[in-house]
Chains A and B, each alone.
Chain A
C-alpha cells in the first residue's frame, strides 16, 4: 500500500519562475493537506481539501500561492512567481474520513529558489 507520493523530491528554480508541486494522496483518503516547513517557522499548514474542495486556505501566504485538487488522487501547489523566501520543504498529507483522523505525510519536496 503506497503512502502519500510527492513529486518532484527536489526543485531548484530561479526567482520569478513558476513552480508546481504535485501530490498523490493515499487511495480512499478524503482529506488532503499542504504544509510548509522552514527553520524559522517550523511546520505550517497552508491549505486543506475535503473531497477535492478547498476548505481552509487561511495559511496560504499570499496570492502567489495557489492549490488545486482536480480529482481524488491528485493535487498541485503552484507558486507564481517564485521568490527566494519561498525556499522550504513542502509536505503533503492525507487522512481518511474524518477531518481529525490521523494525517499521513509524504516525503516532501525541497524547493530552492535562487
Chain B
C-alpha cells in the first residue's frame, strides 16, 4: 500500500542540481511530505518537509505542485557526499509513523 512512487535510481553530476521526483497522488489534506536520506552504513537523516508551500533550508529545496499530487526535492549543488538513498514519505501531521519505501538511490559522479 505504497503512498509514494519514486524512481529506483538516478545519477547526477557533481556540482549540478539534483532533482528528485516523487508522486503522491492519493495524499490527503492533512498529510505532509517528508524527505529523508540514508547514506551508506548510516542512519536516516532528515532533510526537509512541507505541506503545500515550497520550502527551503540549508540542505535542499522542496517544490510541491499546486494539486499536491507530486513533489520534487532539489539538491542545488550535488557533491559526492550526497550519494545516498532518498526517501519521500507522506505522513499525517499528527501521526508518528514514518513509512519508508524503497526510495531513490542517487549516485553523484565526479
Contact = CB atoms under 8 A, between A and B. Distances in A.
Given A99-B95, A100-B94, A102-B49, A91 B100 contact: no
Interface in B78-101: 91-98, 100-101
Interface stretch (A11-19, A40-48, A78-86): A40-48
A100 B43 contact: no
26 contacts: A31-B96, A33-B96, A42-B100, A42-B102, A43-B44, A43-B98, A43-B100, A48-B96, A56-B96, A91-B43, A93-B43, A93-B44, A95-B96, A99-B94, A99-B95, A99-B96, A100-B91, A100-B94, A103-B98, A104-B46, A105-B43, A105-B45, A106-B43, A107-B42, A108-B41, A108-B43
- Interface residue SS majority, chain A: strand
- Which size bracket describes the interface of A in this complex? 20 to 34
Interface residues of B, number: 19
A56 B49 CA distance: 24
A7 B78 CA distance: 32
A106 B43 CA distance: 6
B30 to A, nearest CB: 10
A97 B81 CA distance: 31
